[in-house]
A and B are shown apart, each in its own frame.
Chain A
Amino acid sequence: MASVKPLSKPREPIPPFGGDGFSRREQPAPAPSTPARWGVWLAIFAVAMLFAGLSSAYLVHLPQRSRFPLELPSILWANTLVLILSSFSCQWALRQARQGRALSTMQGLGLTLALGVLFLAGQVYAWQQLRDAGLHLQTHVFSSFFYVLTATHGVHLIVGVGILFGVWAVALLRQGTTLNPLAVELSAFYWHFLTLVWLWLFLLLNLKAI
C-alpha cells in the first residue's frame, strides 16, 4: 500500500480529501435505506415501462377506434370499484401493520385478497361477455388490445395476489406474533400500483379518439 509522506513543497493546492473535486467534506456513510424498497420500486418501474409500451401501441391504433364501436361490458365499472376498494383496505392493513396490530393487519390483507380475487373473477366475466358477443382476440385490433391489456394486467394482479397471500400466510403461521411492516408496505405499494395501472388502462379503453 502506498505510504503517505508529504514531500517538501506541494506544487498544487491539495483539497483535504483528494482531488475528486466534488466532496471536500468527509462523506457520511450512506443512510441505512432499505435496498428492498429500492428494489421493489425499480421492479415496479420496469413493469410500468411494459405497460407504457403496450399503451403507446394502443394509442398508435387509436385513430381507428371510431371505426370499431366496441362496447365495453359494464361490469368493468364494478370491477374498477372493487379494485379501488381493495386498495383502500390494503392501505388500512398497512396502517395497522405500522402500528403493530398484527391481527387487524391480517384482516385487512384478507379483505384485500378477497377483493382482488373478486376483481379477477369480474374480469373473466367481462371476457365471457365479450366472447358471447362474438368478439374474440382476432376479431379486431381493439378486441385484441382489450384482451392483451386486461390479461397483462391480470397476470400482474395474480402475482400481486400471490405476494399478499404469502405475507398473510406467513403472518398466520407465526400466529400474528410478528409481522414485518416492510413486507406489508412493499406489497401494498405494488398493489396500489396495479390499481393505478388499471385505472389508466380503463381510461384508455374508454377513449374514443384523441
Chain B
Amino acid sequence: MAVSQQQASSRDRRTGFVLGVALWLFTLATLWLFGANLHKMPPPASDFAPQIDAILWVILGISVIGFVGLHLYLGWVALSRPAEVRAIYLPADRPKEWLWVLVPIGLLLVADLTFDHMSNKVWGAFFGKPPANAFEVEVTGQQFAWHVRYPGADGRFGRTNPRLISDENPIGLDLSDPAARDDILLINVMHVPEGRPVMIYLRSRDVLHSFFLPPMRIKMDCVPGYTTRMWFTPQRKGNYEIACAELCGMGHYNMKGLLVVEDEQAVQNWLAQQTPFSKRGQ
C-alpha cells in the first residue's frame, strides 16, 4: 500500500474516534427523540388503549436495553481500538465461547415470550366473545366515506344486498326486510356511549379499507364480501377522528369520519332525532 503503516493507523484511529462518538450521539438522539415526543401519541380513550400501551412500553424498555447495549459496545469498539500489533486469535470452533452470544439471546427469548404472553391476553379479549350488553353499530366503507348504520329500535340490522346499491341506497339496504325499516344510516359520523362496550361490524362495498381509531389503539380492515368486527369500551368523552388505514385509492388520505363519545343518554337522544333510512325523503 502506498501509505505507510503508521499513517494508516493514525488515520484509522481518528475515523474510529469519530465513528464511536457518532454512534453514541445517535443513540442519545434516538432516545431523546422517542422520550421527548411519546406524549404526542393520541391520549388513550378506550379500555384496550392502556393495555396495548403497556405492551408497547414493555417492548420499548427491552428495545432500549438492546439498542443502548449494542451501541455502547459498538461505540466502545470504535473508540478503543487496541494498540496491539495483532488481533487476538479465537478460532471459531469452540462452542463453549458461544455462551457469550447464547446467554444474551436466551434473555431475549425470555423477554420475547413475556410480551408475547401479554399480547395474547389483549388479543384474546379483543377477538374473544364481546360483552353481552354491547352497543352495536355497523360501518360500511366506500371510496371515500364511512356509512354508519344503527339497528334502530328493534336492535336488529336489516339485510343488505350489493345488487341494490345505488346513489340513493349507498349500502344496498333491503327494505323488504322488516328489520331494515328502522335502520338509521348516516355518513362519516358515529356517536357511541362512554363506558359501555361498543361492537362495530365492519364491511366494505368496494375495495379494502381499514377502520382506524388512533386513541382507541385499534384498527380493523373492511373486506368486501365479508364482515369483520371490532369492539372496545370508550373511556373518555370527546370528539375523535376516524381514519382509513388501508390504501383504498386516490382519496385514501381524506377518508375521514367523526367519532363522538358521550353519555349513553346523549347518544339515545341524538339517535332519536335521526330519521330512519326508510323514511328519508318522505
Contacts and interface: CB of A to CB of B under 8 A. Distances in A.
A21 B91 contact: yes
Contacts of A11: 89
Contacts of A14: 91
Interface residues of A, number: 8
A9 to B, nearest CB: 13
B167 interface: no
A20 interface: yes
A65 B92 CA distance: 57
B93 A21 contact: yes
Contacts of B92: 19-21
A74 B93 CA distance: 63
A15 B91 contact: yes
Contacts of A22: 93
A166 B94 CA distance: 54
A15 B93 contact: yes
Interface residues of B, number: 5
A132 interface: no
B151 to A, nearest CB: 29
B93 A20 contact: yes
Interface string B77-97: 000000000000101111000
Interface string A1-35: 00000000001101100011110000000000000
Interface string A103-127: 0000000000000000000000000
A66 to B, nearest CB: 18
A178 to B, nearest CB: 49
Contacts of B94: 21
Contacts of B91: 12, 14-15, 19, 21
Contacts of A19: 91-93
B93 A12 contact: no
Nearest to B88: A11
Contacts of A21: 91-94
Interface of B: 89, 91-94
Interface of A: 11-12, 14-15, 19-22
Given A15-B91, A21-B92, 14 more contacts: A11-B89, A12-B89, A12-B91, A14-B91, A15-B93, A19-B91, A19-B92, A19-B93, A20-B92, A20-B93, A21-B91, A21-B93, A21-B94, A22-B93
7 contacts: A12-B89, A15-B91, A15-B93, A19-B91, A20-B93, A21-B93, A21-B94
